[in-house]
């Protein structure tokens, strides 16, 4: 019985290896046509769509990817603000000062991110 099972397993593994090798092997020329991939559009240096380092830092401060939308920015800002609000650290003056500074930085990051998103969309800031 075990000999039969091992023989079946070896056959299955050999078949899987052949199948994978066939998929990884490049197709011969002329067998199939892959259309050429167009190059990405060039962005001018002052383009709004290209985020600057300040914008990248703002999204990083809010712990968001650059693909996040305005609602995601607001939600992340509210979440982080509630977590690091100075009133939560009112018993320790040093931690309260640090929380106040962090709150200010988070608010600046939110403003920069929302302004960039609005400029990228071509509309006034919502």
Phi, psi of 59 (to 5 degrees): -65, -35
Asked if the structure places residue 10 within a domain, the reply is no
The count of C-alpha atoms lying within 13 angstroms of the C-alpha of 126, restricted to the half-sphere facing its C-beta, is 13
Show the CA angle centred on residue 67, arms to residues 82 and 84, nearest 5°.
15
Nearest in space to 83 (alpha carbons), one of 110, 55, 62:
62
Asked if the structure places residue 61 within a domain, the reply is yes
* Domain count along the chain: 1
Q: What distance lies between CA 85 and its chain's CA centroid?
A: 26
Asked if the structure places residue 110 within a domain, the reply is yes
**Per residue in 18-73, pLDDT tens?**
777 766 666 666 666 666 777 766 555 555 557 788 999 999 999 999 888 999 99
Identify the CATH number of the domain in which residue 100 sits.
1.10.287.110
Asked if the structure places residue 58 within a domain, the reply is yes
Amino acid 106: pLDDT: 93
Q: Which domain holds residue 68?
A: 53-121
Asked if the structure places residue 8 within a domain, the reply is no
Asked if the structure places residue 17 within a domain, the reply is no
Amino acid 59: pLDDT: 92
**Per residue in 75-97, pLDDT tens?**
999 999 998 888 887 888 888 88
């Amino acid at each position: 019985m075990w000999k039969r099972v091992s023989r079946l397993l070896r056959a299955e593994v050999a078949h899987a290896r052949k199948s994978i090798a066939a998929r990884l092997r490049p197709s011969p020329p002329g067998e199939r046509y892959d259309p050429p991939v167009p190059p990405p559009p060039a962005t001018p240096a002052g383009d709004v769509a290209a985020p600057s380092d300040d914008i990248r830092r703002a999204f990083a401060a809010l712990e968001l990817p650059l693909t996040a939308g305005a609602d995601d920015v607001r939600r992340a800002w509210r979440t982080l603000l509630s977590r690091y609000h100075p009133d939560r650290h009112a018993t320790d003056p040093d931690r309260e000062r640090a929380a106040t500074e962090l709150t200010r930085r988070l608010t600046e990051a939110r403003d920069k991110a929302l302004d960039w998103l609005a400029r990228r969309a071509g509309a006034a800031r919502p």
